[in-house]
Chain A
Amino acid sequence: MSIVQPGAAPLTSLPLRAGISLKSGHFQDVLDSQPDVGFFEAHAENFMVDGGPFHHYLSRIRESYPLSIHGVALSIGSETPLDIDHLNALKRLLDRYQPESFSEHLAWSSHGDIYLNDLLPVPYTQAVLERVCEHIDQVQSHLKRRMLLENPATYVEFAASTMCEATFMTEVVQRTGCGLLLDVNNVYVSSVNHHRNPNAIIRALPLAQVGEIHLAGFAEQIDGAGDRLLIDSHGSRVDQAVWDLYAFTLGLTGPVATLLERDNDVPLLPVLVAEAAIAEGLLAKAAS
């Protein structure tokens, strides 16, 4: 049974279908073949350029598909202030394309003016909670829209943390009014890396505020003790364990717009479309 109350204001206007990442290598193929997917998700920073093919193709693809714009460089978890130039660039992009959804990460990726290009972890403390909420308030008021915040995949934890990730995310969502981008692969990766129960983590998250789900593949290593260490690589198919956790999640939330993420070793377009079709099958089951 769904815990999301019917009639609640939607967090995004993405359709309750499966979408795929928009990769530049697929631009022409998308226009030519018009694949039957629910939406495309584009990384904001790739389109922070003046003109040329990226805007040419995104404007045409946007005419035919719902669009999610997903930022990776805002560094909401940063100790240092948000980059106003970057926020302005985001605003211009969102004004231009009017996407159905905008999302970012619970992570930091820059320190001062140095950009690190990775989604780095934060300790879950009151002080960090307040800083993250201030940053999200600033983003939402600057962009004049609600955003979705994505739960991270992490490889270390902090001794200083005073609450669990689900409690932290719940507090953020309640205080700022942002929605949750529930990355089911990240939940699975972190639960293996920190030896927790993924189903319990899912249950503890603010599921009524989920506006989108992400699914992706992971890579596998071992840590210093020889235990499994999963890496959120976005470079392979979704693992069966993550499909199972996704089905479990949909059982609690009902159908949610779902993205199949692929950023590395990107296959041909039909491979991504076929993977989205698997998610659509599970979405249909959850709706019935």
Chain B
Amino acid sequence: MSEQAYFSSALLDPTLSVPAGLSTWNGSDPASRFSVYRNNVVVSLIDALADTFPVTQQLVGEEFFRAMACVFIQTNPAKTRVLTWMGASFADFVETFPPATSLTYLSDVVRLEMLRVRAYHAADAHPVELQIFGQALADLDALAGLKLRLHPSVHLLQSQHAVWSLWTAHQGILSIERVDPELAQTALVFRHDLVVEMLNLSMVQGHFVRLLLAGEGLALAADAAVENDPLFELGSFLAQLIRLQLITSISSKGN
């Protein structure tokens, strides 16, 4: 094993002995000095996760969160040099982390917080101008063939748990006592101007958005939504997406 291979393993695994070949001016055991590096690595990575997942941390408490994050870092070493993304696989870890499995909703709260980070840093894009919408929607013959592209910051989380309410309750907007975590919710995450926002969508609205995000045409997505729930109101939901400036292109099929 090369020097740096062992050095890096020993940084992440406190049961490994201190690398050979380290020296100190006063002949002291290099262990306490090597532990500065161990501490820097682990603490800085835990801090990065704590920055990304504040609500998750509030749900489980700081001590539990940091212990869980430490196991994650040691067993799933970071593969990105951009700390913003180092929590990308944290939700999958939390889902199967034995001490957390009783909190069935926790991994989806982690997913939601990661989507908020993705939305925050997503590419910029201009919304379609209202005038262009007017023209596109006026041509009823072409309506069926339209394709909408959503803003790059738009993400969807269709959860079996009340992720939107759980997150919102931690912003002081909603009382946590009133949240039933076992209620299925669909959260739409997006950036409006410079701020990440969320909507609590109905299941059918979530179904519709998922099809748009998958690149399906407007007609197919709308038909599928109505089939799913006859009360789906395409017009008012589209108007809401337009008002939130989440539609960034409108084109007829083949264009």
Contact = CB atoms under 8 A, between A and B. Distances in A.
Contact of B26 (A49, A56, A120, A225): A225
Given A51-B152, A52-B153, A224-B33, 8 more contacts: A50-B124, A51-B121, A51-B122, A52-B124, A111-B8, A156-B37, A158-B22, A227-B26
Interface string A212-250: 000000000111110101010000000000000000000
Contacts of A50: 121-124, 152
B28 A224 contact: yes
Interface in A144-167: 155-160
8 contacts: A48-B82, A115-B80, A116-B78, A118-B37, A118-B40, A120-B37, A223-B33, A224-B30
B29 interface: yes
Interface in B1-28: 2-5, 7-8, 11-12, 21-28
A130 interface: no
Interface of A: 45-46, 48-56, 73, 78-80, 83, 86, 108-118, 120, 123, 155-160, 193-195, 221-225, 227, 229, 231
A111 B124 contact: no
Interface of B: 2-5, 7-8, 11-12, 21-34, 36-37, 40-41, 44-45, 48, 77-84, 86, 120-125, 152-153, 191, 194
A144 to B, nearest CB: 21
A90 to B, nearest CB: 10
Contact of A118 (B27, B31, B41): B41
Given A52-B191, A78-B4, A117-B83, A229 B78 contact: no
A215 to B, nearest CB: 20
B4 A51 contact: no
Contacts of A195: 25-26
B186 to A, nearest CB: 23
A108 B4 contact: yes
A241 B23 CA distance: 26
A164 to B, nearest CB: 13
A114 B78 CA distance: 6
Contact of A111 (B5, B29, B81): B5
Nearest to A113: B79
Contacts of B86: 115
Given A52-B124, A221-B36, A114 B8 contact: yes
B28 A223 contact: yes
Contacts of B45: 117
Q: Which of B2, B23, B30 has the most CB of A within 10 A?
A: B23
B37 to A, nearest CB: 6
A42 to B, nearest CB: 14
B81 A115 contact: yes
